[in-house]
Structure 1
Amino acid sequence: MTHRIGYARVSTDDQELALQLDALSVAGCLTVYQEKASGKDTERPELMQCLKALRSGDTLVVWRMDRLGRSLSDLVKTIADLEARGVGFESLTEKIETSSATGKLMFHVFAAMAEFERNLIRERTQAGLIAARARGRVGGRRKKLDEQQKKEIKALLRDPDISITEVAKRYGVSRTTIYRNVEIENLALPENKGS
């Protein structure tokens, strides 16, 4: 016997699941897994339980596709995994379902368009970086410490009464930044004091 199993998610405690639950009920889902978790969270225990409960011939139903995937690539991977297990997928809002040939085609066109968009963004980014380099600009983060500051820090740390923590506060950086950017191996540091 096949089942239509629903999954509903909202991102914050302030949001309500009622709209999704009503739509999933009307769509014939007798079982609905629900949770309040950000779509960016990798830990979504209810979704994991839902995916485990699905059997070949079942259909996973969501109110909207973004309820299921953290990103488009994540969504495509999840639906491909379901398809490999013989489980259908249906999104009520987008009217996409993968149990028919037309639905599968629509989903794959959608996924291909998303891949195309990602490639365009990558190409534009690369072109922008090349153009910036041609004008003498280098990408990446601005360095937290310039060469003059590194020399000053090195001089300060020669004083046995000054700790790395004090210097880091003075320059508005972390101790890690100082360790990464200033050669301090041969300096005698009072590090346990004031750290």
Structure 2
Amino acid sequence: MNIGYARVSTQDQRPELQLDALAAVGCEQVFQEKASGKDKDRPELDTCLKVLRQGDTLVVWRLDRLGRSLKDLVEIVHTLEVRGVSFQSLTENIDTTNAGGKLIFHVFAALAEFERNLIRERTVAGLAAARARGRMGGRRVKMSKTDVRKAAAMLHDPLITKTEVARHFGVTRVTLNLALKREGYPQNPAAPQEPGESTT
């Protein structure tokens, strides 16, 4: 059984071209929706994929109607293949019911893996370059060492509250406390302390 999926990207696009092409190849059921290709939430596609059974063929007018990216497309088609469902794209003349169509998707899968490896290598190289310049990866701290030093100096004034200091630096009291602790300052610098004592 041929089951079709049609998608248009915006509300002003019309799906008739896709619907006519899918009907011409004998699709007995067609799922259609209006959604951007970048949208993860595509309920009609989800329903379509659930309806497909072993021996069925999912038919689309063009490859970009189905996948949000090459990786996404390869994953969908691979999942269908595992379930015994074939795939056909009319514009690109791809049909996984034959050896040529299967070969094309093996090439697509290799390209997707190649793309992932390139991204991984660039990320690792970027982090290494950042470390060489003295920068570390990860989330940027909200208070620099200079900010923390200034905050500790401000807190030496017993008339200035920690809430006021936190507001001054645009952070929460929790963030301020963590920053003071990180840089080795007492939580309340204005309070008298014994050696080794930390007042919260």
Q: Is the 8 A contact 2:56 2:85 kept in 1?
A: yes
Counterpart amino acid of 2:115? E
**CA distance, structure 2, for counterparts of residue 182 and residue 38 of structure 1:** 46
Structure 1 position 154, deviation (Å): 4.7
Unaligned runs of 5+ in 2: 189-200
1:121-172 CA distance string (max 9 Å, x none)? 32233234434544555445544321121233455567687574x6555434
Instruction: Compute the TM-score of the two structures, normalised by the length of structure 1.
Output: 0.73
1:87-125 CA distance string (max 9 Å, x none)? 110122322221111100111112112211321232233
Counterpart amino acid of 1:115? E
Unaligned runs of 5+ in 1: 188-195
Tell me what 1:28 maps to. 26
**CA distance, structure 2, for counterparts of residue 81 and residue 157 of structure 1:** 60
**Structure 1 residues 138 and 144 mapped into 2: Cα distance closer, same or farther (>3 Å)?**
same
**Structure 1 residues 6 and 169 mapped into 2: Cα distance closer, same or farther (>3 Å)?**
farther
The percent identity for this pair of structures is 61
Task: Please show how residues 47-62 of structure 1 align to structure 2 within 5 Å.
Answer: 47-62=45-60
Is 1:106 matched up with 2:104? yes
Q: Is the 8 A contact 2:7 2:34 kept in 1?
A: yes
Counterpart amino acid of 2:56? D
Task: Please show how residues 110-125 of structure 1 align to structure 2 within 5 Å.
Answer: 110-125=108-123
**Structure 1 residues 116 and 151 mapped into 2: Cα distance closer, same or farther (>3 Å)?**
same
Number of residues paired by the alignment? 184
**Structure 1 residues 91 and 177 mapped into 2: Cα distance closer, same or farther (>3 Å)?**
farther
**CA distance, structure 1, for counterparts of residue 68 and residue 178 of structure 2:** 34
Instruction: Compute the TM-score of the two structures, normalised by the length of structure 2.
Output: 0.71
Structure 1 position 5, deviation (Å): 0.9
Structure 1 position 39, deviation (Å): 3.5
Tell me what 2:193 maps to. none
Structure 1 position 25, deviation (Å): 2.6
Tell me what 1:190 maps to. none
